[in-house]
Amino acid sequence: MSMSSHAVLLSRIANRTAHAGVIGLGYVGLPLAIAIARKGFTVTGFDIDPGKIVAIEAGKSYIEAVGDDVLAVERNAGRFSATVDFDGLAACDVIVICVPTPLTRHRDPDLTYIVKTCQDIALRLRPGQLVVLESTTYPGTTTDVVRPILAGTGLDIGAEVFLGFSPEREDPGNRDFSTTSIPKIVAGDGAAAAEAMEAFYSAVVERVVPVSTTATAEAVKLTENIFRAVNIALVNELKTVFEAMGIDIWEVIDAAKTKPFGYMPFYPGPGLGGHCIPIDPFYLTWKSREYEMPTRFIELAGEINSAMPKHIVGRLAEALDIHLGKALSRSRVLIIGLAYKKNVPDIRESPSLKLIELIEERGGSASFHDPHVDEIPRTREYLSLKGRRSVPLSEIAGFDAVLVATDHDDVDYALIAQQAPLVIDTRNVFARRGIQDGVIVKA
């Protein structure tokens, strides 16, 4: 009697003969593909961007979390390859979807990439495959969007083909945690899929945390990022209140975090960036409308965080007037940091892009310096900024003000304090380094 599709899949996972496919070789997909390969599986990466495939074939990683040497080891061993040809999905026993889930202009979920990817998978779907969604989305996406597309092939989902969700938890630039050391939430659509999910991810990461349903797993990811978004909004609002009172929010937080219980420090900034926190909360607010359940708290946090770039530009204009007697419309501003967080080249949803736009809308001139970003690439919302290049710090003398938006470690802040006529610090970097030279205004 032949083995069932489920038994064959579990056997291949157990003996590392399962072929894994990872769709979307970005900040989530490439580190995951390499992590799977390093555990002995053969992995094929799929992406619609031929530039990524060319880089991988040349042995060049474009993701900081994956070094060229690590990439070379897996490629030379024949455990990892990459392609734009999605016909290779038919050979994969496990298919992991790591594609973007942006928002529309109206802040509604945009599942275009998920839907198209699932349609591509469906064309090659066969019995014995495990299909996993890792892209962040609203509760119900796996069963309500992905499953119908796969079921349209006529294959029995849950008996012949297995479906699961495992939210990505990548944190670019984090030196303490990697893809394999971060606990992995897993859930399957049915008992058989749940067993396959736990078996596969247990073979790749150090700790697996099973939950009861895919909707629960989807909700876990949203909860993690909503928690951060709401708390960042709180300190951003407190910052504006304490500014009016002449109180330093950074000193308040440093003192408050000495309490060993009941408090966790979050820090203000010029706005939210990255692939998760500015976007994910709106996936839940959109889905909640279906149940006529308001999410006032989450939406208010979104409004506060979204308003921070405008607040910072207002503080910049005020400081230029007070300290230099100059209008923003006649000023040149150098922004330190285009990336959304320190020590990474990731500019997704970066508030620095919005700061440039707002400064120039008010008639000023804005440039940027970032040791990790040489040039602004094409973005969905800031097409006019494409091609602008990082300005060297040696040109500080030509600017009226320097605005620190991202506190990269490899920036000469002492030089900035000495040579810039005015510094607007949104990250408290000068106080943390004990630099008191020049005119430094916290914002």
CB 250: neighbour CB atoms within 10 A?
19
What is the chain's percent helix, strand, coil content, to nearest 5? 45, 15, 45
Mapping DSSP onto H, E and C, the string for 152-187 reads CCCCCECCCEEEEECCCCCCCCCCCCCCCCCCEEEE
SS3 of residue 36 by DSSP: helix
If we measure between CA atoms, which residue out of 102, 169, 101, 90 comes closest to residue 131?
A: 90
SS3 of residue 37 by DSSP: helix
- To the query of whether residue 276 is one of the catalytic residues in this protein, the response is yes
Alpha-carbon distance of 149 to 143, in angstroms, equals 10
**Residues near 103 by beta carbon (within 8 Å), at least 6 away in sequence:** 109, 110, 279, 282
Strand partners, 80: 43
Tokens, residue 117: 């990817």
Q: Please answer whether residues 102 and 279 qualify as being in contact, where contact means their C-beta atoms are separated by less than 8 angstroms.
A: yes
Tokens, residue 204: 């790749």
Given 92, 98, 118, 276, the catalytic residue: 276
SS3 of residue 113 by DSSP: helix
SS3 of residue 333 by DSSP: strand
Alpha-carbon distance of 76 to 155, in angstroms, equals 36
Angle at 350 between CA 408 and CA 439, to 5 degrees: 50
Angle at 53 between CA 166 and CA 129, to 5 degrees: 40
Max Cα–Cα distance, the chain, nearest Å? 87
Tokens, residue 388: 């602008």
- Give me the count of residues in the chain: 443
Alpha-carbon distance of 31 to 65, in angstroms, equals 7
Place of tokens 């943390």: 432
Indicate which residues carry an active-site annotation.
Answer: 276
